[in-house]
Each structure stands twice: as C-alpha cells, then as structure tokens.
Structure 1
Amino acid sequence: MTWQAAQARYDHMEYRRCGRSGLKLPVISLGLWHNFGGDTPHERKRDIARTAFDLGITHFDLANNYGPPPGSAEEAFGDLMRTDFAPYRDEMIISSKAGYGMWAGPYGEWGSRKYLIASCDQSLKRMGLDYVDIFYSHRFDPETPLEETMMALDHIVRSGRALYVGISSYNSKRTREAAAILKELGTPCLIHQPSYSMINRWVEEDGLLDTLEDLGIGSIAFTPLAQGMLTSKYLKGIPEGSRATQGKSLKSEFLTEETLNAIRALNAMAEQRGQTLAQMALAWVLRKGRLTTALIGASRAEQVRDCAAVVKNMDFTEAELQEIDATTVEGKVNLWAASSEREGPSR
C-alpha cells in the first residue's frame, strides 16, 4: 500500500520567514548528517523521514559527504523520494552543500567553481532530483577568491540547479563580504547555517546573529543539541552505542565532568518547565525569533517527535535566561571553528 502523509501535518508546526525572503521554514528541520548512511537500516531512515514530514517538518538538509560512506545519505534520501515522497516534492525544502572533501584529487573539496558545480550535479543525480531548493557553500575557502565561490553559487541558481543559495560556518566579516557579492550578482544569500547551542556560542561572540539580522539573511542552527549532549542521553555517563562511543564527531573527551554537571543542572530546569532537555535546548536557540529554524539529527523516530513538540513552549522568562547563562559552560565542541576564523583554515 502506498504511504500517504498525515492530513493534519501542518496543524501544529510553526513556520518562520527566512530573513527577508518569501520562503518560510519550519522551526525544526531534519538533518541527515548522521544516521542516513550505509551503517543505518533503510527502514529506520524511512521511519524517521516519514515521521518528520507527518509532523510538519518540510525541510530536509543534506550535503554531498554525508554518510558514511560519503554520498550514501543522498542516495538513501533519493530512494525515499522515489518510494515515498515523490507526490510531495513541491511541499518540501531539500538542501545540499559542497565544501568538504568528497573525492580524490585537487578538485574534490573547498570552494572552486569546478568543485561546487560538479558536486551539485552529483548530488542531484544521487537524489534523483531536477533541482534542490537550497545549495550551500559548506565552508569558507581561504585560497579561492570569494568572488569565484559566490559566482558559482549564482550560476547554480541561474542554471536551474537550485532555487536559493546559502553559506555555512562563515564568520560575520566573511558573511558580509559574501552577501555583498551575491547581492551584486542578483542572487541574494537566503540563509546561513552556523553551529550554535547553549554550550557553543561563537555566533554571539562573533556578532553573526546581528549581521544576519542587519542583512536580512535567514538562519538555521546546526548541532543545537550539541550532538546529543543537550539531551537526556548523557545524564548518567556515556551509554554504549551512543555517538560518543562511535568515533564520529562527538568525542568522549567533550563530556567533561564540568560539562556533565552543567547539563544535569539544565535538565533540572527543563523539568521545571515541563520539557525534556532537548526541547528546552531547541527553544533556547529559537528564542525571541532570532533564528529561523533549528536543525536536528535523529537515530529514532521518537526523537523527532520529542523535538517537534518544542512548539508547545518556546518562551522564556528573563530569570530563566539568566539562570541558563549562569549554568552553561563553553563545551569547546565547535569542530568548525577553523571554518569561522577570520582567514579561514590553513592547508
């Protein structure tokens, strides 16, 4: 029997305008960075994606190198598009990116026109799509002229490969430069995707949120749950099978006793608010409407349900915000700091 999406899927999700564009995004978006590669059963991926869409999560975020192996998340999502989501394509926002290492040789990463356009074509083929809704420069390239990278994004839109373009992990200075180039080209920057959470606040120190507001650019925070640290998963230590034990991006040394104590205190606050820790962490990122959407990952459908329920309570008192500021510690979990530095990463 052919799957049909829930009829009430738009009844409870909140949608925010993306900067000063005409596009609205759900306040919770689904990222396929982890748990959509070849090491995850396909039926689990299907369950996660269906659940998200049924809850009004219309935005699915990918990149060329998501897996493992690289490319496998897009291939899996392409299968789901054919078997489940084809009738709903016009209700979906699908994004992909290029910037990190994808294939061997000098043309398989960073920000050249050669790499970005070739990678976009490969992503479309893997997903079986005519276009993506958003295509990103995944990281700033210090050795390629920024004009070349932005001109490639402009070409990707003008050639019909994408409807909008964005950037990820660019600092405030580079964001202003990139946005100015794109504006002159006639393809405005729609959205910026930085890492941001209660224990990773570089965007506040850098002034990026003010820059995005000033320029009218939307925002999507990735790792708002600090790769699972801001959930109930690690309250009693590091469980077997968690991301911290898999040798991926979340290293066990991030989970210091100081950080764990802060997480436990935050969890107590969330309980007082009648929320899970994950819900409070997402509500905090989305507070006061400064960000457009928060990007979650999930290994099970019930995690998607938990995160989507944040819409029931996204308000904080000033006292709560002050207590969170007093409780949180910088977790040193920004693995993308080099991509956000003034001159970018060295090679």
Structure 2
Amino acid sequence: MITNEPNPLYVAAPERYSKMTYSACGRSGIRLPQLSLGLWQNFGANDSQSNARHMLNTAFDHGITHFDLANNYGPHYGAAESCFGSIYQQDFKHYRDELLISSKAGYDMWPGPYGVGGSRKYLISSCDQSLKRTGLDYFDIFYHHCMDPDTPLEETMQALDYIVRSGRALYVGISNYQPQQTQQAIEILRQLGTPLLIHQPRYNLFDRWIENGLTDVLKNEGVGSIVFSLLAQGVLTNKYLNGIPKNSRAALEHQVYLADKDLTPAKLSKVSALNTLAENRQQSLAQMAIAWTLHNEAVTSCLIGASRPTQIVDSVNALNNLHFTPQEITTINHILKE
C-alpha cells in the first residue's frame, strides 16, 4: 500500500446528514443512504492509501454512511479490508456508531476445499478473518456472496444465523441469488429467527434481470436491496462514446471485467442516445444511470465505485434530479429495445 502524506486528524463535515436521503431497508428499522460506497476496486494493495482515505472521507462528508466490503476484494485477496481497517482506525473509529459496514464471503478466498462456497466452516472462518483485517468488533451486515449449489441452503443460512447470534454481525444478507433461491433463504432465516435484511444483486440499464421475479419477492417479503454495477463497468458513462481511450480499463490487455460484447457498435449507439437524453436532463450519463436505478421502488440503495473523490461528489449530485417523466421512461425503454 502506497503512503506518501502526513496523517492529520479527520473531522467529518458537520452538515453531512443534510446532503443525503436515507430510505427504509425493507420492513426493518435500518435506513440506508441512497448511495453507498463499494470498496471492490481502488482499495487494493497496488492502490494509493492516501487516495482511498480521501474517498472514504469524501463519502462520509456527503452523508454516505454505508461502506461495503468482501473478503476477496483487492488485489490481493483481503487487501481492501486491510486498507479499510487502517483508515478506520485513523479516521472512523470514533464514528463507528454512525457507520454501517458490511462484508461478504462466498467466492474463493484461500486454497483447498474449505476456502470457498457456503459451508458453515468457510463462512464463520472467513467472517473471523475479515473482522481481524478490518479491526472491527462486528459487521453491521454479513452476506453470503453467491449461491453454492454444493452446500445445502439450510447449512448456509444456519451459519449466517450463528454469525448474528455469536455477535459477529447484526444483520445478514445474500448476494447474487435468483428469485426462487431468495424466497427459500427468506423462509429458512425467518424460521431461525434471523430475518433476511437485504439482497445485493447486479442491476443497471443494460442488465435488468432482477425485474424478472426478484424485485417482486423482495417487495412482498419486506427485504431491502442494494444494487451494484450501476454503470455497467463504465459503459454507462461518456468514457467510450468516441472509442476506447488509451489506458482505460477496456484497453488494458489484462482486464477481465469488460469484454468485446460490452462495447459493440450497436451498444455504443444506445449509449450515445442515452447520453443525449441525459444532457437534456442536465445530467451526465453516469448521473442519469444512477437516478434511473433509484427509480425502481424495490431499490433501497445504490453501490457506487470510485477511483477519485470527485467521482463520489458527482454521484451524490445525481440525487438532485431523480424524477423521470413518463416520456423519458418511454424513451429509455425504446432506446434499449432497438
């Protein structure tokens, strides 16, 4: 981790709560900020800790009280949690009760059969490791990151229930579960006495799979949702309107998040049309994409990513115009169906 500056005491902006709207997470008593900060990228061992610190400070100064982690965020695995832990000790420990901090386990984390999946052994061991890396006494939310077809769902949900009952977390969540799997998880957890607080799925203008059953389950059962990949890994920005710029993520030979199918001429034509609509709304395309995501009443909060503090401020400014006219919604749907 690169460190290259002195460490003055951080004091949060007094007006931070006036800059953010908070929404009820399902039928729970938790209220989430409309925007939350995900630490999936740009908080790893190869990134600047100074920049990471500035981003976390900027987020909290703008009322973003929820920071989202996972055991394998990096690179390397665990690095984002370690980075956050260092900054937490320096800047946020005395704000702990104002923060909602989450982590997850499910994808591969360490070698061998016990370092991946949904078993009780893996989930509890991983949660303990994550608490050590972050320096926290507990997580506000601990998620199962992905469905494991090789582990009975009952075992996975029992492990999440135990994590709460043992004081390791206050609430539990699931991520990347399909509608039927989500319904089953809800019912099992309800019987155990630890209700499901939240689901974390992927959702954006180009990827609307949650509208095919999942949002109905969440609304009917009173479960909140926090969605990720709002900008489709940068496709829903103006970054690629004039081709793939040098040194962009899409141009890097080792990149794995964007494929050729994500940047076809047909898709970029749709991006251009969406960008024109955003300009008419006096928003950037990224801001409109965030606003559109929050337009879905089943969405409690949106997980934004950032590589610099100004991107966080730009995302917060998207909240200044969340209203869409019926004509704008019709236009968006027409563009996406072309």
- Normalised to the residue count of structure 1, the TM-score between the two structures is 0.93
Query: Hey, which bits of structure 1, 4+ residues long, moved more than 3 A?
Result: none
Distance in 2 (CA, whole Å) between partners of 1:232 and 1:39 is: 26
| Equivalent residue number for residue 254 of structure 1 | 262
Indicate the residue corresponding to 1:126 in structure 2. Answer: 133
1:213 matched to 2:253? The reply is no
Cα displacement (A) at 1:75 = 0.3
Question: Aligned partners of 2:144 and 2:154: how far apart in 1?
Answer: 12
Q: CA RMSD, aligned part only?
A: 1.1
Any stretches of 5+ residues in structure 1 without a counterpart? 331-347
Q: Among 85, 91, 96, which residue is 1:89 paired with? A: 96
Summarize the alignment of residues 141-220 of structure 1 with structure 2, pairs less than 5 Å apart: 141-205=148-212, 207-220=213-226
Distance 1:174 1:69 in 2: 30
Aligned residue for 1:226, secondary structure, equals coil
* Counterpart check, 1:7 vs 2:14: yes
Q: Distance in 2 between matches of 1:102 and 1:288?
A: 33
CA distance, structure 2, for counterparts of residue 295 and residue 325 of structure 1: 23
Q: Deviations over 1:193-251 (max 9, x none)?
A: 0000000011112x101110001000011101111111121121222232223413223
After TM superposition, list the pairs within 5 Å mapping 1:1-347 onto structure 2.
1-205=8-212, 207-246=213-252, 247-328=255-336
Distance 1:60 1:74 in 2: 11
Q: Secondary structure in 1 aligned to 2:318? A: helix
Q: Secondary structure at the match of 1:84?
A: helix
Distance 1:26 1:88, change over 3 A: same
Q: Which amino acid aligns with 1:111?
A: G
Contact 1:199 1:329 (8 Å CA) reproduced: no
* SS across alignment from 1:232: coil
Task: Give the deviation of 1:329 after TM superposition.
Answer: 5.5
TM-score, length-normalised on structure 2?
0.95
For residue 239 of structure 2, give the secondary structure of its aligned residue in structure 1. helix
Aligned AA (1:239)? P
One-letter amino acid of the structure 2 residue matched with residue 84 of structure 1: D
Residue 238 and residue 76 in structure 1: after superposition, are their counterparts in 2 closer, same or farther (change >3 A)? same
CA distance in 2 between counterparts of 1:327 and 1:25 reads 31
State whether residues 55 and 312 of structure 2, in contact with CA within 8 Å, keep that contact through their aligned partners in structure 1: yes
Equivalent-residue separation in structure 1 for 2:239 and 2:192 (angstroms): 46
* 3-state DSSP of counterpart to 1:233: coil
Could you list the runs of 5+ residues in structure 2 that have no partner in the other structure? 1-7
Count of matched residue pairs: 329
